[in-house]
Amino acid sequence: MADFLQFCKQFSPMEDAVLWKLAQQTVTKTYNKGAFLLHSGETCKYLYFVNEGLIKSYSEKEDKEFIMRFFSENLLFSVFDSYINQTPSKFNLVALEDARVTLVRYETMEALCKQHHAMETFFRKLVSIAATKMMKRISEMLEENATDRYRSFVEENNAIHQRISLGDLAKYLGITQQSLSRIRTIR
């Protein structure tokens, strides 16, 4: 099981007093497989840290599902445009497995960032990494063919790719399940 405070210390050095304040303000919840952490149209009020389980971020349009990312153990994430601007999200977050998730409220992070430079640095790094990963995701979808996207995904997500259904993986790659099956057989 992943440890939220250990993750924070590795991500950005922080004094024990700051970590203690953060720990006092977090809540850990359990979500059953299929449970929503966030529905599109709701404002994202949390940073989410996956202690156990697997979460997907996706949007829907005209009965089509577009999967943006998968989040597994030891990852801290959010729907950042909704979270930072406190506006309705265009994305859903749903548990693909039973999951234990540590939540940090928006108001808590804002207050801690104002009080502690180390926390502000931590949050800046988190958002910077999220932006970098988003740019990489967009670049892959625009510039790579499906076979290369599949290979990259498996290489970068070796620990979780077997936990993701073929249907979800195909949606993530932007291809049909039949195309994914062909790619996997010629791999």
Q: What is the pLDDT of residues 131-153, one digit of tens each?
A: 999 999 999 999 999 999 999 99
Size of the chain, expressed as the number of residues it contains:
187
Min mean pLDDT across 60-69, 85-94, 95-104 is at 60-69
Q: Burial-class residue 101 by CB neighbours within 10 Å (0-12, 13-18, 19+).
A: buried
With 90 as the cut, is the pLDDT of residue 3 above it? no
123 contacts: CB under 8 Å, gap ≥ 6: 109, 113
CB-based contact 93:55 (threshold 8 Å)? yes
Percent residues over pLDDT 70 in the chain: 98
155: left (phi over 0), alpha (psi -120 to 50) or beta: alpha
Cα separation, 178 vs 182, whole angstroms:
6
pLDDT band at 176 (very low <50, low <70, confident <90, very high): very high
Cα separation, 111 vs 117, whole angstroms:
11
How much is the pTM?
0.92
The pLDDT tens digits of the residues spanning 31-83 come to 999 999 999 999 999 999 999 999 999 999 988 999 999 999 999 999 999 99
Cα separation, 178 vs 12, whole angstroms:
43
With 80 as the cut, is the pLDDT of residue 84 above it? yes
CB-based contact 64:74 (threshold 8 Å)? no
pLDDT band at 159 (very low <50, low <70, confident <90, very high): confident
Cα separation, 16 vs 9, whole angstroms:
9
Q: Max Cα separation, the chain?
A: 55
CB-based contact 51:101 (threshold 8 Å)? yes
